[in-house]
Chain A
Amino acid sequence: MSILVDENTKLAVQGITGGEGSFHTRHMIEYGTKVVAGVVPGKKGQEFEGVPIYNTVAEAVEHEGANASVVFVPAPFAADAVMEAAQAGVEVVVCITEGIPTKNMINAYEYLRHRKTRLIGPNCPGIISPGKTKVGIMPAAIHQKGSVGVISRSGTLTYEAVDQLTRLGLGQTTCIGIGGDPIVGSQFVDLLPLFEDDPETEAVVLIGEIGGSAEEQAAELVKDGKVKKPVVAFVAGKTAPPGRRMGHAGAIIAGGKGTATEKIAALKDAGVQVCDSPAVIGQTVAQALGK
């Protein structure tokens, strides 16, 4: 199986006619994702690549049965788009947009807290369940169907890890980029239990980085025995200077907190296999699985 999205996912694309939205919608359709609707206010009745466009997400749900959405809306309006998707009742909303003001995200997070919709992102590559569906911007070709789950705060570093897995014949159930912002809809701790419950997932790769305490929280979950499947981790930013934002808005060592060293120590203490080098993620998973 896979988690969050699969062959039954009916996707609405918010911002389908924009540069990014249109480009990646073509790639998603090419991969086999069931893109059932586009949402662009004021463009109801138009079509993109044969996909009908609606003014609101609610219409996309009502007329096309959309049960997931992906947001390519520009940063100033993206948090609003996320809340719209949640109100329309989709199960999952994936927000690709980078650069959303923190204040907007605090409000959107609070809005979603009271609803059943799960948010992935923002500032993320999205989710792919290889062989089934792709909701995001990742290169499909490096993925392969299999039994490893991947959760990551990064984009291209995730591709690097997935590529290593695939080359070793280790396919993936689902790969999720949770995003590089200080506030993201889902953290490692929200997703690890889903992989734990998924019968097809045999091991999980967790890719963290400096800033915040998502890795420490994940370590605690593993330590508490709530994740029994093998977890292999890499934490980027051992050489990052304190007080500097390393590209991602959330990747910053603030007040001496959020260092890679602390995170690695917490993960190791919980029994997670932490890779020293980003080049050995694949082979560490292979060893963990006895392959």
Chain B
Amino acid sequence: MKIHEYQAKEILKKFGVAVPEGSVAFTVEEAQKIADDLGGRVVVKAQIHAGGRGKGGGVKLANSAQEAQGIAQNMLGMKLITPQTGPQGKEVKCLLIAEQIDILNELYAGIVLDRIRSQNVFMVSTEGGVEIEKVAAETPEKIVKEYIDPAVGFQPFQARKLAYALNLEGDQVKACIKFLLALYTAYEESDASLAEINPLVVTKDGRVLALDAKMNFDDNALYRHPEAKAMRDLSEEEPSEVEASKYNLNYIRLDGEVGCVVNGAGLAMATMDIIKLAGGEPANFLDVGGVASSETVSNGFNILLAHPKLKSVLINIFGGIVRCDRVAQGVVDALTKVEVTVPIVVRLEGTNAEQARQLLEESPLEFIVATDFKDAAEKAVAAARGA
């Protein structure tokens, strides 16, 4: 789960990570008030779940509370387009108003899971303020890593090594060590899956601060972090995906015309791939889970049918413990409840597949029954073209 920068900074502050003074504003009046309290010289930052905000005009400096008010007026409600939002952009609903910082040096610090080692890794770099993926690709030697031993956690000597690797001196080292140790505690205690400070800045008055902050949470651990769960901003997510999550369906909206309803995530991805191979474009990823009952199938259909480009639907179910005839009955029941205007191709394989095919053929509804995986994809793509 993603959160906004201002929320990440609230969490970090709670754990003793140094962040610039500031707070969130949802209205122009709030923005002016906060800017006033901070002495007028502030930065106004649009809060959306995407990076590259500066490039899209989502980060602006103000030298007075009045100026901040003017910027806030323009920014609130605007569609912010950045390299990460796509061409449609994202509506700005709130702003972070923070003190301006006199920067001496821009650095990078981040913690993330290393999947090869099955351990967390703490990374720092002197190359702050640019995308870390770019640094990793072009100058990997400029990223210094310390792996975190799960038995003892991140140790002070590791923080020292990282601070020295950042070429810091004197009091900056001490401030940086304190910063890194606090950042680790925040990551660990909140079950984060990412904590990224880019840039981490050294100020002219010797402070070490998180100028920007990004935190993601492990969805599987949200049950024990109600405070983090409450930070989810549904308006940042695709509405059809929010709707699907209410029914515990794994749905991701894509841009194609062939919808798919599949049981199992791997098979669902493979189904998207085979649609593409057959010359079509998948309209979505949808895993209805192992059960694939009448209810999950009809909920899935309702979400799918809202897609404006949808021209055909491919139902691909591999019945294992769940028998195909029961799935077929579910599909028939679902389609008597939901009005479907596009052709439906059904491919059921596995336990009781024969009975299932018979059931579909005998139903008053119209299905295109496919014989195998490839046939199903080709029929679904052909149906989309004909529609």
Instruction: Report Cα–Cα, A280/B351, bound state, in Å.
Output: 21
- Tell whether A115 is near chain B: CB-to-CB under 8 Å: no
Does A160 lie within 8 Å of B270, measured CB to CB? yes
Interface string of A211-245 (1 = CB under 8 A from B): 11110010000000000000000101111110011
**For the complex, what is the distance from the CA of A195 to the CA of B321, rounded to whole Å?**
27
- B219:A249 contact, CB within 8 angstroms: yes
Residues of B within 8 A of A139 (CB): 319-321, 350-351
Contact flag A240-B285 (CB < 8 Å), given A155-B264, A157-B266? yes
Q: Which of under 10, 10 to 19, 20 to 34, or 35 or more describes the interface residues of A?
A: 35 or more
Contact partner, B318, options A105, A156, A180, A247, Cβ 8 Å: A156
**Chain B contacts for A210, CB-based, 8 A:** 269
Q: Is the CB of A244 within 8 A of B266?
A: no
B118, B224, B266, B285 — which one has the most chain A CB atoms within 10 A of its CB? B266
Of the 9-residue stretches A1-9, A54-62, A83-91, A271-279, which lies at the interface with chain B? A271-279
Q: Is the CB of A163 within 8 A of B318?
A: yes
Which residues of chain B are near A101, meaning CB under 8 Å? Answer: 191, 218, 220-221, 224
Segment touching A, from B6-14, B88-96, B274-282: B274-282
Residue B254 interfacial (CB < 8 Å): yes
A152 touches B266 (CB 8 A): yes
Are A106 and B118 in touch, CB under 8 angstroms?
A: yes
- The smallest beta-carbon distance between B255 and chain A, in angstroms, is 9
With A106-B150, A244-B252 given, is the CB distance from A156 to B218 under 8 Å?
no
Within 8 Å CB of A251, what residues of B? 265-266, 269
Please state if A241 and B264 are interface contacts (CB–CB under 8 Å).
no
User: B147-173 vs A: 1/0 string, CB under 8 Å?
Assistant: 001110000000000000000000000
From the candidates B266, B268, B321, B377, name the one contacting A207 in the complex (CB within 8 A).
Answer: B266
Interface residues in B74-96 by Cβ distance below 8 A to A read none
A158 touches B266 (CB 8 A): yes
Query: A157–B115 contact, CB under 8 A?
Result: no
Asked if A239 and B282 make an inter-chain contact with CB atoms under 8 angstroms apart, the answer reads yes
Q: CB-CB < 8 A to B312: which residues of A?
A: none
**In B351-379, which residues have CB < 8 Å from any A CB?**
351, 372-374, 377
Give CA–CA (A212, B114) in the complex, Å: 9
How far is B120's CA from A180's CA once the two chains are assembled, in angstroms?
19
Nearest chain-A residue to B323 (Cβ)? Answer: A139
**Mask for A88-124, Cβ within 8 A of B = 1, else 0?**
0000000000011111011101100000000000000
* Interface membership of A246, Cβ < 8 A: yes
In the complex where A241-B252, A277-B274, A279-B374 touch, is A102 in contact with B220 (Cβ < 8 A)?
yes
Residues of A within 8 A of B120 (CB): 106
Q: State whether A276 touches B277 (Cβ < 8 A).
A: yes
User: Is B28 engaged at the interface, CB distance under 8 Å to the other chain?
Assistant: no
The CA of A17 and the CA of B77, in the complex, are separated in Å by 54
Please give me the residue from chain B that is nearest to A153 by CB atom.
B266
A180 to B265, CA, bound (A): 9
C-alpha spacing A102/B113, complex, angstroms: 9
Q: Which residues of chain B come closer than 8 Å to A249, judged between CB atoms?
A: 219-220
Chain A residues near B282: list those with CB within 8 A: 239
8 Å CB contact of B270 from A138, A234, A250: A234
User: Given A101-B221, A103-B218, A154-B267 in contact, is the A236-B273 Cβ separation under 8 Å?
Assistant: yes
Q: Which chain A residue lies CB-closest to B150?
A: A110
A159 touching B320, Cβ below 8 Å? yes
The CA of A75 and the CA of B220, in the complex, are separated in Å by 8
Residues of the B chain whose Cβ atoms lie less than 8 Å from the Cβ of A106: 113, 118-120, 150
* B264 to chain A: closest residue by CB: A156
The residues of A that contact B321 with a CB separation of less than 8 Å are 23-24, 27, 137, 139
In the bound complex, CA of A153 to CA of B265 (Å): 10
B133 within 8 A of A: yes
Instruction: Give, as a whole number of angstroms, the nearest-CB distance from A167 to chain B.
Output: 10
Q: Confirm or deny: B287 has a beta carbon within 8 angstroms of a beta carbon on chain A.
A: yes
| Complex Cα spacing A247 to B351, Å | 24
Given contacts A155-B264, A237-B269, A277-B277, contact A103 B115 (CB under 8 A): no
B318 contact set on A, CB distance < 8 A: 156, 159-160, 163
Q: In whole angstroms, what is the CA distance A239 to B264 when docked?
A: 16
Contact between B265 and A278 (Cβ–Cβ < 8 Å)? no
Among A105, A159, A183, A238, point to the contact of B273 (Cβ < 8 A): A238
Within 8 A of B (CB), among A162-210: 163, 180, 182-183, 207, 209-210
A209 touches B269 (CB 8 A): yes
Confirm or deny: A268 has a beta carbon within 8 angstroms of a beta carbon on chain B. no
Residues of A within 8 A of B193 (CB): 102
Say yes or no: is A145 at the interface (Cβ < 8 Å to chain B): no
| Other-chain contact of A102, B221, B266, B269, B377 (Cβ < 8 Å) | B221
Check B265–A246 contact: CB distance below 8 A. yes
Contact check, B266 vs A180: say whether CB atoms are below 8 A apart.
yes
Q: Does B106 contact A (CB under 8 A)?
A: no
Known A213-B116, A234-B270; contact A157-B220, beta-carbon cutoff 8 A: no
B residues apposed to A, CB below 8 Å: 113, 115-116, 118-120, 132-133, 136, 149-151, 188, 191, 193, 218-221, 223-224, 250, 252, 254, 262-270, 272-277, 282, 285, 287, 290, 318-321, 349-351, 372-374, 377
> 5 closest Cβ contacts across the A-B interface?
A154-B266, A247-B265, A156-B264, A157-B266, A139-B320
Besides A138-B320, A239-B282, 5 new A-B residue pairs in contact (Cβ under 8 A), listed by A number: A157-B269, A246-B265, A247-B265, A249-B219, A279-B373
- In the complex, 22 of the A-B residue pairs with CB atoms within 8 angstroms, ordered by the A residue number, are A24-B321, A103-B188, A103-B191, A109-B150, A137-B321, A141-B351, A155-B267, A160-B318, A163-B350, A182-B113, A209-B266, A209-B269, A212-B115, A213-B116, A214-B115, A236-B273, A238-B276, A241-B254, A246-B285, A255-B133, A277-B277, A278-B270
